[in-house]
């Protein structure tokens, strides 16, 4: 059943449901990110795991707090690297179910901690293995199954659910802090099991990635000509009954494009070494993906999400938990705008403009906190909160969803899983470095830390302008063609169109008109050349 049509493409309930269910991986990511900021301030948690001189005077050392917060990121770094072979071996869906099981084990280890902070930290590491693998598998699965005309929107639901998870974690934390003894933090941690069960069970009922199915068909079943399974998978994800999978030209067109691309790529090795070979701009795209994911962390967003309660405590707020709720709400609501922005304005311009906007507000945040003591000047503290909210507004509408969309659609089929893993691992590496070293840096330079992130945002805008190609509106196979076209440059890529079309607009208009064409083979041949 089709919900609606967009640019000549049917969008069915399966497309919507697989995007939403798979995005629970982002929700788990966000929930785990958001909860720790408040947990480390809960009284019972401090009594059990911090250093106490009296029951009312407990505090974490910078090393202990950094490890408790950041060991999740080390786990996600390792999990992201393992996410690729697991997703290729088990398929995208069953890999996600397995990874949810790993996450649940980590949650149980955390919940059973009593007075040994190292056990809690190890539990976060184990949970991180699952979260990291999911962060590689989910955007890839969404990009491979989404119609190209709304791929940005559907893939952006991953980031939307990250923000929703952060907001829910803040809300649950503020409600659970009044629970007696260990029930406060154990409730917050334990609820994470529910989110993993929703994803782990729900994803089994969704279709496998049609590109993954085709890859298996070519590797194992090409001799028997079994292409029907992949074409039916495409049709079902577009809201078209399986019995009509062969009646729609756009299904045949996309399936033929995938088929010829995979047929070509079956002669190319897809190991880890291939990710670093310059032919076909594979190395270029690996480095680009890793750079974008690193720069997403270096925007400074997790400076607020991990340590927001501590930061706003230091500006004199009596209840920093409430400010965390405000930041989380701004992040969540503005991500809806981000879904529109990334679909309406493409990928390049939002990242360029977002980098400049975020940098400007971080300069305001850092300058205000450095010039005047916010504890003694309430107006400065309020200005810093406004600056943080404006920064989050820009981040939620540009860099937050944009990078995850690009990781799903930038790489060729054969190496997509591994390149996505490498890119996501880079994200988690910087996630760890920021989480671990922020207490030390914050103690040393206080709010001047904002200047560092401001500079990184400007760097991100420069990288997006000079190296990122505009991939909106194209199928994944056409994106691969664009990157390998020697006549196309990043700053001219918005006008690029596949052979047979005069411009990107002409290409989109003809796709909307639902007119059949027979240029797929020629397109692939040009890409090979």
| Angle in degrees, 0-180, between the axes of helices 92-111 and 24-39, rounded to the nearest 10 | 20
Asked if 441 and 304 sit in the same domain, the reply is: yes
Residue 85 lies inside a defined structural domain of this protein = yes
Asked if 126 and 6 sit in the same domain, the reply is: yes
What is the per-residue pLDDT across 252-282, written as a single tens digit (0 to 9) for each?
666 666 566 556 555 555 578 889 999 889 9
Residue 163 lies inside a defined structural domain of this protein = yes
Q: Which of 450, 467, 484 is the last residue of a domain?
A: 467
Name the strand (E) or helix (H) holding 4.
strand 2-6
| Residue-averaged pLDDT of the chain | 80
Residue 373 neighbours by CB under 8 Å, 6+ apart? 380
Residue 477 lies inside a defined structural domain of this protein = no
Q: Which residue has the higher pLDDT, 106 or 180?
A: 106
Asked if 199 and 233 sit in the same domain, the reply is: no
Query: Phi and psi of 246, rounded to 5°?
Result: -100, 5
Asked if 89 and 42 sit in the same domain, the reply is: yes
Residue 490 lies inside a defined structural domain of this protein = no
| Domain boundaries, position 375 | 2-206+274-467
Asked if 237 and 299 sit in the same domain, the reply is: no
What is the per-residue pLDDT across 376-408, written as a single tens digit (0 to 9) for each?
777 888 888 889 889 999 999 999 999 988 988
Asked if 244 and 372 sit in the same domain, the reply is: no
266: left (phi over 0), alpha (psi -120 to 50) or beta: alpha
Q: How many CB atoms lie within 10 A of CB 174?
A: 16
Residue 421 lies inside a defined structural domain of this protein = yes
Name the strand (E) or helix (H) holding 142.
helix 117-145
Q: Which residue has the higher pLDDT, 301 or 90?
A: 301
Residue 114 lies inside a defined structural domain of this protein = yes
State the pLDDT at residue 432: 85
Asked if 292 and 393 sit in the same domain, the reply is: yes
State the pLDDT at residue 227: 58
Residue 389 lies inside a defined structural domain of this protein = yes
pLDDT at 217 over 70: no
What is the per-residue pLDDT across 443-496, written as a single tens digit (0 to 9) for each?
888 889 999 999 999 999 999 999 999 998 888 888 999 999 999 999 999 989
Residue 195 confidence class, pLDDT cut points 50, 70, 90: very high
pTM for the model stands at 0.75
Query: Distance between CA atoms of 118 and 64, rounded to whole angstroms?
Result: 9
Q: How many CB atoms lie within 10 A of CB 149?
A: 22
Residue 138 lies inside a defined structural domain of this protein = yes
Asked if 418 and 362 sit in the same domain, the reply is: yes
Asked if 178 and 117 sit in the same domain, the reply is: yes
In this prediction, residues 28-51 reach a mean pLDDT of 87
pLDDT at 157 over 90: no
What is the per-residue pLDDT across 96-105, written as a single tens digit (0 to 9) for each?
899 999 999 9
State the pLDDT at residue 140: 75
Query: Distance between CA atoms of 216 and 227, rounded to whole angstroms?
Result: 10
In this prediction, residues 204-214 reach a mean pLDDT of 61
C-alpha closest to that of 196 among 127, 259, 270 = 127
Q: How many domains are contained in the chain? A: 2
- % of the chain surpassing 90 pLDDT: 32
Asked if 242 and 391 sit in the same domain, the reply is: no
Query: Distance between CA atoms of 146 and 411, rounded to whole angstroms?
Result: 15
- % of the chain surpassing 70 pLDDT: 76
Asked if 106 and 152 sit in the same domain, the reply is: yes
| Domain harbouring 55, CATH code | 1.20.1250.20
């Amino acid at each position: 059943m089709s919900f609606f049509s967009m640019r000549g493409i049917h969008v069915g309930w399966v497309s919507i449901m697989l995007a939403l269910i798979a995005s629970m991986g982002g929700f788990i990511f966000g929930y785990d990110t958001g909860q720790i900021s408040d947990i480390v301030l809960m009284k019972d948690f401090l009594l059990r795991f911090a250093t106490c001189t009296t029951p009312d005077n407990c505090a974490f050392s910078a090393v202990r707090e950094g490890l408790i917060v950041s060991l999740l990121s080390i786990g996600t770094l390792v999990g992201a690297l393992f996410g690729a072979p697991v997703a290729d071996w088990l398929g995208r869906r069953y890999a996600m179910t397995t990874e949810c099981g790993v996450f649940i084990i980590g949650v149980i280890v955390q919940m059973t901690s009593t007075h040994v902070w190292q056990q809690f930290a190890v539990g976060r590491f184990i949970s991180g293995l699952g979260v990291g693998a999911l962060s590689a598998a989910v955007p890839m699965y969404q990009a491979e199954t989404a119609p190209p005309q709304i791929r940005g929107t559907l893939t952006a639901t991953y980031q939307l659910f990250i923000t929703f998870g952060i907001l829910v974690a803040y809300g649950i934390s503020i409600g659970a802090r009044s629970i007696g003894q260990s029930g406060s933090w154990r409730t917050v941690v334990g609820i994470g099991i529910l989110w993993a069960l929703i994803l782990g069970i729900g994803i089994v009922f969704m279709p496998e990635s049609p590109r993954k199915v085709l890859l298996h068909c070519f590797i194992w079943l090409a001799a028997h000509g079994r292409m029907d399974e992949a074409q039916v998978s495409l049709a079902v994800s577009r809201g078209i009954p399986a019995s009509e999978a062969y009646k729609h030209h756009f299904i045949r067109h996309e399936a033929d494009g995938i088929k010829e691309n995979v047929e070509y790529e079956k002669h190319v090795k897809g190991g880890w070494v291939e990710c670093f070979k310059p032919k076909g701009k594979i190395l270029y795209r690996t480095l680009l993906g890793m750079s974008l994911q690193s720069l997403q962390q270096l925007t400074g967003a997790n400076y607020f999400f991990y340590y927001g309660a501590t930061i706003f405590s230091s500006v004199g707020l009596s209840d920093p938990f409430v400010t965390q709720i405000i930041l989380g709400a701004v992040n969540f609501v503005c991500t809806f705008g981000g879904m529109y922005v990334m679909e309406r304005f493409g990928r390049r311009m939002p990242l360029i403009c977002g980098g400049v906007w975020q940098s400007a507000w971080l300069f305001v945040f850092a300058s205000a906190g450095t010039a005047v003591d916010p504890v003694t000047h309430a107006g400065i503290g309020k200005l810093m909160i406004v600056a943080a909210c404006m920064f989050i507004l820009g981040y939620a509408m540009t860099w937050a969803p944009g990078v995850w969309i690009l990781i799903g659609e930038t790489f060729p089929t054969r190496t997509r899983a591994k390149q996505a893993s490498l890119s996501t691992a880079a994200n988690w590496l910087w996630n760890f470095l920021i989480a671990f070293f922020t207490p030390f840096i914050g103690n040393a330079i206080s709010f001047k830390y904002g200047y560092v992130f401001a500079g990184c945002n400007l760097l991100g805008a420069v990288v997006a302008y000079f190296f990122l190609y505009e991939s909106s509106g194209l199928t994944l196979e056409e994106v691969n063609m664009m990157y390998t076209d020697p006549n196309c440059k990043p700053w001219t890529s918005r006008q690029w169109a596949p052979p047979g079309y005069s411009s990107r607009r002409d290409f989109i208009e003809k796709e909307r008109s639902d007119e059949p064409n027979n240029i797929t083979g020629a397109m692939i041949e040009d890409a090979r050349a």
